[in-house]
Amino acid sequence: MTEFLPHGRIRLALHRLQPARAPGAHPLLLLHALGESHAAHPAFSYAQWPGAVHALDFTGHGDSTIPAGGGYSCEVLMGDVDIALAHIGPATVCGRGLGAYIALLIAGGRPDRVLGAILLDGPGMAGSCAASTPYIPLVDTTQPAPPDPFAIAELATDARPPEYAAHFARLASQRSHLPRPITVCTREQPPWLQAVVDVLGGAPVDPANAWRMYASALPQPVPA
């Protein structure tokens, strides 16, 4: 089942890949990598999740709107996720590549709505940083879409300074009620992710263990 959610002038496609198998279990929201769509998530990877499983198509990807003239940023994609979370309620977020960085941002930005963020390997993980040579990517608009060629060009070089990523990791650690709000399961560790690991500590975790840990997480208590 696919629902379409408005995010500004964009229509986001949110796909329900699997209904809840256990009553009361919270949902899992899957975030694809650069250039991918909801179809990127193999069924075996989420089949045991007790709650509903949803997959979002980011702006310019999959069945979501392709805007004119680019203007992508990871912060806008964080906004995509926030729209989805407002619709499905607090959820565990699992992102691949680019989606892993977005999972970090939303875990720090909305710690009350993210019941754990799992970061997996995938395309578009690294982005660029302050030390990168200034670059204005040339966009081949004749390429078929989706994905939007502007999304590929701009999100492959989106700025992800390590101290900025570390700031979001700290926000998640300090403001989430979970003892470990972010779990890094990646082999690839670009500078921004190394900074996150420095903040969080601990060794990489197997994704299956991370999913088991978050499946039983309870929502953040509402202050009396």
Partner 1 sequence: MQFPASPASPASPASPASPASPASPAATVSTVAPPPVHAPADARFFHYAGARAPERQRRIDANGVGLAVYEWGAADAPPVLLVHGALDFARTFDVFAPLIADAGFRVVSYDQRGHGDSAHAALYGWVADERDLLAVADAVTRAPIPAIGHSKGGSLLIHAIEALPHRFTRFACIDGMPFRSPHPDTAMHEKRYMSPEIISNWLNHRHTAASAQRKPSPLQDIARRRARLNPRLSHDWLCYLVTQGAQHDADGWRWKLDPAIRPGGFGPMRSRWMTDRLPGFPVPLLALFSTIAEPMGWDCTYEDLVPYLPPSARGLAMADTGHFIHIERPRETADLVIDFLRT
**105/185 with CB nearer partner 1:** 105
Residue pair 12/56 in contact (Cβ under 8 Å)? The answer is yes
Per-position x/- string for 27-46, each x denoting binding to partner 1 as judged by CB under 8 A, each - no binding = --------------------
Residue 161, token pair as written in the block: 């300074």
Q: 97 φ, ψ to 5°?
A: 55, -120
**49/168 with CB nearer partner 1:** 168
In three-state form (DSSP H/G/I as H, E/B as E, the rest C), the secondary structure along 119-150 is EECCCCCCCECCCCCCCCCCCCCCCCCCCCHH
Residue 68, SS3?
Answer: coil
**133/223 with CB nearer partner 1:** 133
The residue from 167, 189, 190, 205 that contacts partner 1 (CB under 8 A) is 167
**In Å, how far from its chain's centre is CA 74?**
10
Closest distance of CB 18 from partner 1, Å? 27
Residue pair 157/137 in contact (Cβ under 8 Å)? The answer is yes
Q: Is 7 one of the binding residues for partner 1 (CB under 8 A)?
A: yes
Nearest residue to 28 via CA among 67, 7, 55, 1:
55
Residue 31, SS3?
Answer: strand
Residue 212, token pair as written in the block: 């088991």
- Considering only residues 65 through 104, tell me which ones interact with partner 1, judged by CB under 8 A: 65, 67-76, 78-79, 82-83, 86
The residue from 171, 185, 210, 215 that contacts partner 1 (CB under 8 A) is 171
The residue from 2, 3, 4, 6 that contacts partner 1 (CB under 8 A) is 6
Closest distance of CB 191 from partner 1, Å? 13
Residue 72, token pair as written in the block: 């992508």
Nearest residue to 26 via CA among 170, 201, 178:
178
Q: 222 φ, ψ to 5°?
A: -80, 130
**79/210 with CB nearer partner 1:** 79
Per-position x/- string for 124-153, each x denoting binding to partner 1 as judged by CB under 8 A, each - no binding = ------x--xxxxx-x-x--------x---
Could you tell me which stretch among 4-12, 22-30, 201-209, 214-222 binds partner 1 (CB under 8 A)? 4-12
Q: Which residues bind partner 1 (CB under 8 A)?
A: 6-10, 59, 65, 67-76, 78-79, 82-83, 86, 108-110, 130, 133-137, 139, 141, 150, 154, 157, 159-161, 163-164, 166-168, 170-171, 175
